[in-house]
Amino acid sequence: MNIDFNLDGKIVVITGASKGIGAGISKELAIAGAIVILCARNTEQLNELKNEIEKENGIAHVFQLDVSAVNQIEQVFKSIYEQFGRIDILINNAGLGYNHAATDVSEADWDEMMNVNLKGLFFCSQQAGKYMIKNGYGRIINMSSQASLVAIKDHAVYCATKGGVNLLTKVLALEWADKGITVNGIAPTFTYTTGTAERLDNPEYLESVLDRIPVGKVATIKDIASAILYLTSSHSDMVNGTTLVIDGGWTIQ
């Protein structure tokens, strides 16, 4: 069997692409041949990423997008579709994660995280889904978390949003399966990025994390990108509505 996971010429929209996992997977998917559409609020960071991708002969385009603003989502996805004629893949990566003791959560805390992690993800999927239905093809990958499957202390709101992501993934997968669209999720554990390096480079903090991960290491960007390549390839045509857990065994305990 010829195993091919390249994304040559695919139009891939990535939200929250300006930093962290979003920036990392954008680079990896560009290397795999995708035309990456970088979306986030910070266009300065997006343009820096675009330049990095182009230095490696990749193709990237920048669109400013605040996923908590539904009118912006509609405008941006319309612009992308008009410019490129299709949206093949959507990676719903934009997300917030804060520590809040349950007794300290304010209404503003709740609304901010729900608006980005859940509302934004849904309406990005809705807009991409409309255009994917027109073209009879699409792959949507929702970034969930191990916190969608097990309780994490001081993360009541975050866990609630990611649990919601898992169920939205199932519903959208069910509604759009006969339209040539699959919808799946990825639930990573702690992942080493420039944003998490400060904590994970601290030996004591790292040890506290690794105590919960049976394989004895944190995830990497390549771990996440490899899962995306699988879920967006023809090899995963029968995978729909599932959330692939990339946690080294954290949630089996």
Q: What is the pLDDT of residue 194?
A: 84
> What pTM value is reported for the model?
0.96
- pLDDT (tens, 9 = 90+) of the chain, 253 residues, equals 556 788 999 999 999 999 999 999 999 999 999 999 999 999 999 999 999 999 999 999 999 999 999 999 999 999 999 999 999 999 999 999 888 999 999 999 999 999 999 999 999 999 999 999 999 999 999 999 999 999 999 999 999 999 999 999 999 999 999 999 999 999 999 999 888 888 899 999 999 999 999 999 999 999 999 999 999 998 999 999 999 999 999 999 9
Please answer whether residues 240 and 182 qualify as being in contact, where contact means their C-beta atoms are separated by less than 8 angstroms: yes
Please answer whether residues 88 and 10 qualify as being in contact, where contact means their C-beta atoms are separated by less than 8 angstroms: yes
Which three-class secondary structure state does DSSP give residue 100? strand
Q: What separation, in Å, do the N-terminal and C-terminal C-alpha atoms of the chain show? A: 36
Token output for 43: 């266009």
**C-alpha torsion angle, residues 120, 122, 123, 128 (rounded to 10):** 120
Token output for 93: 């990566």
Q: Which residues of 113-144 are buried (b: 16+ CB within 10 A; e: fewer)?
A: bbbbbbbbbbbbbebbbebbeeeeebbbbbbb
Fold of 11-247: Rossmann fold (3.40.50)
Please answer whether residues 250 and 146 qualify as being in contact, where contact means their C-beta atoms are separated by less than 8 angstroms: yes
* Alpha carbon distance 205, 181 (integer Å): 40
Compute how many other C-beta atoms are within 10 angstroms of the C-beta atom of residue 241: 18
Q: What is the pLDDT of residue 149?
A: 97
Q: What is the pLDDT of residue 5?
A: 83
Query: The dihedral of CA 207, 252, 116, 90: what is its sign?
Result: positive
Q: What is the pLDDT of residue 35?
A: 98
For the question of residue 192 being annotated catalytic, the response is no
Pick the catalytic residue from 81, 131, 158, 192.
158
Q: What is the pLDDT of residue 195?
A: 82
Q: What is the pLDDT of residue 2?
A: 59
Query: Which residues 6+ apart lie within 8 Å of 35 measured at CB?
Result: 9, 10, 11, 12, 59, 60, 61, 84
